[in-house]
Amino acid sequence: MKMEKIENAEIHVDNRKLACSVYRGTEGERAIDIRKLRKETGLITYDPGFVNTGSCASKVTFIDGEKGILRYRGYDVADLAEKCEFVEVAYLLIHGSLPNAEQKAHYSRLLNEHSMIHEDMKEFFSHYPEHSHPMAILSAMVVSLSSFYPELNDGDKEDLAMTVTRMISKLRTIAAFSYKKSIGEPAVYPRHDLRYCENFLNMMFSSPVRKEPIDPVMTEALNKLLIIHADHEQNCSASVVRSVGSAGANLYASISAGICALWGPLHGGANQHVIEMLEEIYQEDGDVDKLIERAKNPRSPFRLMGFGHRVYKSYDPRAKIAKELCKKVIAATNKNDPLLDIALELEEKALADPYFQERNLYPNVDFYTGLTYRELGIPTNMFTVMFAIGRLPGWIAQWLEMKKDPDSRISRPRQIYTGPNARRVVPINERK
């Protein structure tokens, strides 16, 4: 489906008027087409963060932040998390439809066949400094894949399909290898007899001398966590992937850039900061009320991590899934996590506080995912890596869509210049 033109609008500037088309998407959102604005009026729009700017038309993901809706290719994220494995959702995002049994089996075999990384790449891991952040290693190793595998030929669908498969399969292997490097253990190779999430958990927690049994509850939890992270429309990292790709950069470079964007504490790094915040509360005195007052104090730089979202003005649908998943995993491990108790108390008191109600500050996806990863045994510095593994199919779907879009242009925002006017360079001996 394409955008539907539904009406015309006019922009009036200095006794001139610009006729603009108004388009509507399939879910009813409307947009004014201002592509001729600068050419015909000399003006640009001023929109910091592009919060009111539609940079593209997309069929991948729909979000309604006011109603708390998130759908991939028309499917509600909760429905997908309940009934599908991550591999099926990855297939959906990239190919546009859920796989049947035969397609899923074939896709799973391809992912297993390409799960190994080039043996020479292992040398890279040995030269990273001890305690290097896994996200730094991940981004560098992903862009290095282009050195080990052929560059894509324009229009070669077979090569592109293989590159996509390699990316999805090898990213989890690179992630697990980076973790093993950080703790000084030898890498565990992927196995062809295990499914996607089982394989990752095995590479993370087994060793040549100790074979860890893979708990089905943990496998199910990881599948759901990756699904709820799989795409999120034109967020910071997806926009970076599209922007880098718009310059003609290959998929490896574009995804590497997306990983770097995701690393930021205001984006994918937020779940790590939630855990650090909860640990700080626990280690001090467990006083949640004091923390809430700090967050409300306009003179305090403190921010309540895991609350609020640029798009959602209601409860983040992913946070609902993560919250129940966290409880289920903790129940399966038969241990109490004091951080979960603090998180539940913090949520209850914040949602009852008018300050948070008036500002639509609800728990977001980061609030409970970090706790769940912690229960799975994933170390804190790997949380954002897990986010990247889940988000990869969405990044790829966005990149592929950008490549096929006839309206796609190289990303080149404008600006409003506020620096000095034209100046003359004076000889150095005359400068004050």
**Catalytic: 316?**
no
Catalytic residue among 114, 231, 309, 316: 309
Q: Partners of 76 in the beta sheet? A: 71
Q: Partners of 4 in the beta sheet? A: 24
**Catalytic: 309?**
yes
Q: Partners of 24 in the beta sheet? A: 4, 30
The amino acid sitting at 127 is H
Rounded distance between C-alpha atoms, residue 238 and residue 421, angstroms: 36
Catalytic residue among 192, 366, 405, 407: 366
Rounded distance between C-alpha atoms, residue 387 and residue 10, angstroms: 43
Tokens of 382: 């790997």
302-340: b or e for each residue (b if 16 or more CB lie within 10 Å)?
eebbbbbbebbbebbbbbbbbbebbbbbbeeeeeebebb
Tokens of 118: 């080039």
H helix runs in 85-215, sequence order = 86-95, 101-113, 122-127, 134-148, 157-183, 196-205
3-state secondary structure of 343: helix
Which of 292, 360, 310 has its CA nearest to residue 63? Answer: 310
Neighbours of 414 (CB within 10 A): 11
Tokens of 402: 């950008």
In contact, 165 and 114? CB cutoff 8 Å: yes
Q: Which residues are catalytic?
A: 309, 366
